[in-house]
Amino acid sequence: MLATAESCTGGMIAAACTDLAGSSQWFERGFVTYSNAAKTELLGVPAALIAQHGAVSEPVARAMAEGAIDRSHAQVSVAVTGVAGPTGGSADKPVGTVWLAWHVDGHTHSERCQFAGDRAAVRGATVWNALAQLAHLLRS
């Protein structure tokens, strides 16, 4: 069973999964945790972790993926947090910066991506990459 934990995509990964007929057999639930408070309240991401590293960071993405496992009946999760734009970027985290994390077979994997384009392009690329890497990890 799969759980998603999404910030910058706002549920688009869950929607892509549930667009598929038969997804009720493998999709358990989705968490849309757009705010920092939601990340803490729904996924158990420590507020101190967010304060130390920022919401768009590897530690937070990993904590989101692990929190989705801890707070669901799923065995597999995918989490994303990023700067979709057009505002909100910084020198360290420009628009298009996204951290993705997956929890598969008891291990958490993470990756930083830098996507080009407008808000829709960044969000679309995030969804595609999140699901493509999830499929790769499940096949491995």
Per-residue model confidence as pLDDT tens digits over 10-47: 999 999 999 999 999 999 999 999 999 999 999 999 99
Is the pTM higher than 0.95? yes
* pLDDT reported for residue 81: 98
Q: For 102-136, b where at least 16 C-beta lie within 10 A, e where not — what string?
A: bbbeeebbbeebebeeeeeebbbbbbebbeebbee
pLDDT < 70 positions in the chain: none
- CA dist 99 and 84 (Å) reads 11
Instruction: Return mean pLDDT, the chain.
Output: 98
- CA dist 10 and 34 (Å) reads 7
Sheet hosting strand 97-104, strand order edge to edge? 27-32, 2-6, 76-82, 97-104, 107-114
Residue with tokens 């803490």: 40
Structure tokens at 29: 């639930």
* pLDDT reported for residue 110: 98
* pLDDT reported for residue 83: 98
- CA dist 97 and 60 (Å) reads 14
Structure tokens at 49: 């972790």
